A and B are shown apart, each in its own frame.
Chain A
């Protein structure tokens, strides 16, 4: 059986490292973009991000396994959780020959995860609309902490302290050779991340994006302009939670199991916040850069363990924890707006804009229609002052 080509330099297989790197990059990019939508653009600091991701992974993964077992008629009459390893092994054996069902499983699981995430986001929006940031942060953090306890204790969902396996929709590609499964999983994750990027970018470039910033920057002003702040916040939370939940479901397919102790508030709430803060709050290209930088440090650190002094005291993960804390504090101290600043709202291109509003001259016939109307209106209000006086900026 052939596999992917290998490129081994300095004791690292760069091909498999690259696949792993890009998969994690895409995963964290998607999650951070959804966080940027709610935190960066709308100003809802969601300190319970892990809740939505874990919800999506748990429900998506659990339902995919049950559904596949039901359709393939595997393990009928057996408890899904107790005989999980056996059932999923059989399911995977069948899925190798059934790519259609594999695709269907992923789609159904994503839809379920999206719905669960949306529901959780809707529930979270109830306090988010009413509480100040500090109370909201405490409440969401507490809820996420408790959700982890639920995952650990409530066995029917993901098996409690015993992890359950998730059917592998990519198992067809594993027959092509070593490494192909992860390659396809990577492509799926990248496609998802790009879709999330395009979606979020489209939203924030639209008039809706300006509305979101208005809600963030000045609630009273946006309310005065007829925007329903509560409704906007709720919708943003639902959408962002659904996106995060879908990312969680894809992650559970990638690693092939769901365990309660994966879902710590450090890995799934703090890291996305770190990425958004490093890259730039309210700036998607900043998040693209921040996620890359973060993944580089995180996955790169995993490779240095052999070079550490031969002692059990210094573990790469604890060094990474401290390094991330220092990185966050350094950014907050030195450049709180992030490495790439937030750009002002996108407007029409200069040429198009010029046709609507021309820079003012004293002769009215040279002016554009809107400007003419405006200056007339102003003149009438001001009792006959010239257009140049009324619009001092436009007379340069």
Chain B
């Protein structure tokens, strides 16, 4: 058996990977960070809830419904709000504020819908409900299998779409250079609409699966925006596969990091973490930019400190003892600090995202 915490980390990571791929798709085509993206996740959450509670369907039917609803609403948002505004030459900030406005509009719609479920249909738990029932297979919950398989299928499909089909190549061209793509006869608007549809669909589908793991509510999706943005930024906002990797890293590190900080990493775990900080810090110190050097120096010093204090048997005990034996359950509510911290670090050190790192050069295999 695989330990349960690894599985739960994997499932979260897969869900964030799907959401981040969606956000990155919209960013690539419209160049606007979509603040209403979390609401597409909530759309999926309530599609799933409605399918299970009102129509007595399987939650996976609900997730599929979430895909369709998310795709539809996302496309409508693009066609009705963002495309007309972009055609008028609105500035980036105006477009961002518009997505913010759509975000608050969704909050009102969700409240009215949950009131309807609650008072007119008698589903009392609609505004805040516990995780929905899932089937189990060989000791694993259904979502443990479905989420990773879904991500694998989505990545494979996108890869095939981008490399093997004419439409996918057209999509890439439209993202790279819209005017040139238009000259070549590619329907750039069509490409953008399809991207938004896929993006909303991924978010809705991930939201539907999320109901099997977590309690859901009207604000669940919009509270996840920190993780979604961090994943996309870590992936570089220009690469779908980067977003997928970013989501996997963010989801995994959030769950495992919180768990580890709470229960302690043990001696071996603490040494590994210290080594990561030390080696990563040294790698950063060798970079040319001063602020990267400073960040690297702090990292390396932190790693050294942990190793030294551990070796001496915790005479000072600042962070190091807790890293081995755990901070206790109080850290759990602060788990969003991990993705936020990763986002800040990404923006300071590798603003172009993960895939902009030249790994060969980092390892010293390639001359500058």
Contact = CB atoms under 8 A, between A and B. Distances in A.
B320 interface: no
Contacts, number: 136
Contact of A139 (B85, B97, B107, B344): B344
A332 B92 contact: no
B31 A139 contact: no
A325 B101 contact: yes
B115 A315 contact: yes
B213 interface: no
B105 A326 contact: yes
B112 A318 contact: yes
State the majority secondary structure of interface residues on A: helix
A336 to B, nearest CB: 6
B104 A321 contact: yes
Contacts of A266: 103-104, 107
Interface stretch (B47-55, B153-161, B224-232): B224-232
B336 A149 contact: yes
A351 to B, nearest CB: 38
B333 A149 contact: yes
Given A139-B347, A332-B85, A325 B340 contact: no
Interface in B18-45: 27, 31-33, 35
A101 interface: no
Interface in A319-346: 319-322, 324-326, 328-329, 332-333, 336
B108 A314 contact: no
Interface string B335-368: 0110110011001000100000000000000000
Given A134-B92, A143-B340, A311 B119 contact: yes
B4 interface: no
B100 interface: yes
Interface in B106-149: 107-109, 111-112, 115-116, 118-120
A274 B27 CA distance: 23
B119 to A, nearest CB: 4
B255 interface: no
Interface residues of A, number: 46
A173 interface: no
A329 B84 CA distance: 11
Contacts of A315: 111-112, 115
B115 A324 contact: no
Contacts of B35: 47, 137, 141
A319 B108 contact: yes
Contact of B101 (A133, A153, A270, A318): A270
Contact of B108 (A127, A131, A318): A318
A329 B93 CA distance: 13
Contact of A314 (B88, B98, B112, B339): B112
B337 A135 contact: no
Contact of A135 (B107, B225, B340, B347): B347
A141 B223 CA distance: 11
B219 to A, nearest CB: 9
B102 interface: yes
Given A47-B100, A266-B107, A318-B111, A153 B94 contact: no
Nearest to B27: A134
B233 interface: yes
B90 interface: yes
A34 B118 CA distance: 40
B294 to A, nearest CB: 12
13 contacts: A131-B347, A138-B229, A138-B343, A139-B229, A141-B35, A146-B226, A152-B333, A317-B111, A318-B111, A318-B115, A322-B108, A324-B104, A329-B101
Interface of A: 39, 45, 47, 127, 130-131, 133-135, 137-139, 141-143, 145-146, 149-150, 152-153, 266, 269-270, 273-274, 277, 311-315, 317-322, 324-326, 328-329, 332-333, 336
Given A39-B93, A145-B336, A270-B101, 19 more contacts: A45-B96, A134-B27, A135-B33, A138-B233, A141-B229, A145-B225, A146-B340, A270-B100, A273-B97, A312-B115, A317-B111, A318-B107, A318-B108, A318-B115, A321-B108, A326-B105, A332-B85, A332-B101, A336-B94
